[in-house]
Amino acid sequence: MSQAARAEDQAPDAARVDVRLVDLTRRFGDVAAVDSVTVDVARGEFFTLLGPSGSGKTTTLRLIAGFELPDAGRIELAGTDVTGRPPYARDVNTVFQDYALFPHMTVRENVEYGLRIKKVAREQRRTRAEEALAMVRLEDFGARKPAQLSGGQRQRVALARAIVNRPQVLLLDEPLGALDLKLRQEMQVELKRIQGEVGITFVYVTHDQEEALTMSDRLAVFRAGRIEQVGTPAEVYEHPANEFVAGFVGVSNVVERDGRRFTIRPEKIRLLGEGEATDGLHVEAGTVEDVAYVGMVTRYLVALDAGGALQVVRQNLETSSVDAHELRGRRVRVAWREGQTSAIEEGQSPEEEERA
């Protein structure tokens, strides 16, 4: 199925579309950074552009913002064609990874800045800035300078500064990339909460699969300037459209049996105990080649007698690291339900495309 057909299948009702991209293309020399991208983003949706570096997701965001102009295609915001409009004539705001705060201004002054440029009255500026700071839980930090804040707090200020303008669409370019893991996870929850409260459409760029799965209503998986799949996190994870999506969004095993090629997620595979019932399961034998104990789970690499290898994840309910490592080199049986596999489209693997 083509990316256009997949996008059309997932498209929201036209009356509720805040961002519409139609055959959007942007070239840099001979390279198509964005290659005929078509997708709709619904009003109030948290929509993520997910992909590896160089896949076209950030260029797509810059095209929506007006920082880049397309070589072909159309951009609509709330039904209005804005393809040729400059950034200031589009009802969008952008939050960047580097915050871009003015160091000489206080937090409140940073948040008020856009309103001041728009010549909003002083009292109204102050009221709206305070509301925005309360939204990001920084109501007591208005008098501080950015240098007096942590990285997470500075990111919240940048978000408040964007929200205070009440844009139709908020564009976020890897805004959590500079934060450490724990803070990034906390901010994921906060961003989703804030988006739900303000009701603004979020278009979010990231290369972090877990971040995309955690926060998104829907996501578009990018590769080489094109969209490979659009869907909800569950749809993309449980039913990847091709081998690239299966391998990029989480970890997936690719298996070929009887001319059929399919993926199966490691957590869906069972290591069978001696005499364990196998009703309704597909069962294969193999040898445990490697074991990695990682606390809550253990990862096993099983070489199958019928060919190929599977990564299997097992939760450590009553298993210690010693127990786990004792399986290395052992003969085992693995099993899964056919309904938990996902067929891979012919000719869609990255290796096959490169050979072509």
pLDDT(223) > 70: yes
Residue where the block lists tokens 């199925």: 1
Please report, for the chain, the start and end positions of each structural domain, with discontinuous segments joined by +. 3-244, 251-355
- Distance, CA of 264 to CA of 351 (rounded, Å): 19
| Residue % of the chain over a pLDDT of 90 | 61
pLDDT(215) > 90: yes
Q: Please give the pLDDT value at position 279.
A: 87
Where does the chain show beta strands of DSSP type E? 17-28, 31-42, 46-50, 72-77, 80-81, 92-96, 169-173, 201-206, 218-223, 226-231, 253-257, 260-264, 270-271, 282-293, 297-304, 309-315, 331-336, 341-343
Q: Please give the pLDDT value at position 259.
A: 86
Q: Please give the pLDDT value at position 22.
A: 97
Nearest to 20 by CA among 60, 78, 70: 78
pLDDT(216) > 50: yes
Residue where the block lists tokens 């409009």: 85
- pTM assigned to the model: 0.85
Q: What is the dihedral of CA 285, 290, 293, 298, to 10 degrees?
A: -20
Contact predicate 43/17, CB 8 Å: yes
pLDDT(136) > 90: no
Contact predicate 45/217, CB 8 Å: yes
Q: Please give the pLDDT value at position 2.
A: 44
Q: How confident is the model at residue 300 (pLDDT cuts 50, 70, 90)?
A: very high
Q: Please give the pLDDT value at position 14.
A: 61
Averaged pLDDT for residues 110-135: 91
pLDDT(318) > 80: no
* 322 or 154: which leads in pLDDT: 154
Q: Give me the half-sphere count of Cα atoms (radius 13 Å) on the Cβ side of residue 254.
A: 19
Q: Please give the pLDDT value at position 278.
A: 84
Q: Please, what CATH class does the domain formed by 251-355 belong to?
A: mainly beta
pLDDT(81) > 60: yes
Contact predicate 40/46, CB 8 Å: no
Q: Please give the pLDDT value at position 197.
A: 87
Averaged pLDDT for residues 65-86: 95
Averaged pLDDT for residues 238-248: 91
What would be the CATH architecture of the domain defined by 3-244?
3-Layer(aba) Sandwich (3.40)
Least confident of 10-19, 174-183, 275-284: 10-19
pLDDT in tens, 153-197: 888 898 899 889 889 999 999 888 877 888 888 888 888 988 988
pLDDT(34) > 60: yes
* 258 or 232: which leads in pLDDT: 232
Q: Please give the pLDDT value at position 322.
A: 81
- Distance, CA of 131 to CA of 352 (rounded, Å): 53
Contact predicate 152/179, CB 8 Å: yes
Residue where the block lists tokens 């055959």: 23
pLDDT(36) > 90: yes
Averaged pLDDT for residues 271-297: 89
Q: Please give the pLDDT value at position 10.
A: 56
Contact predicate 236/245, CB 8 Å: yes
**Average pLDDT for the chain:** 88
Q: Please give the pLDDT value at position 13.
A: 66
Averaged pLDDT for residues 82-102: 89
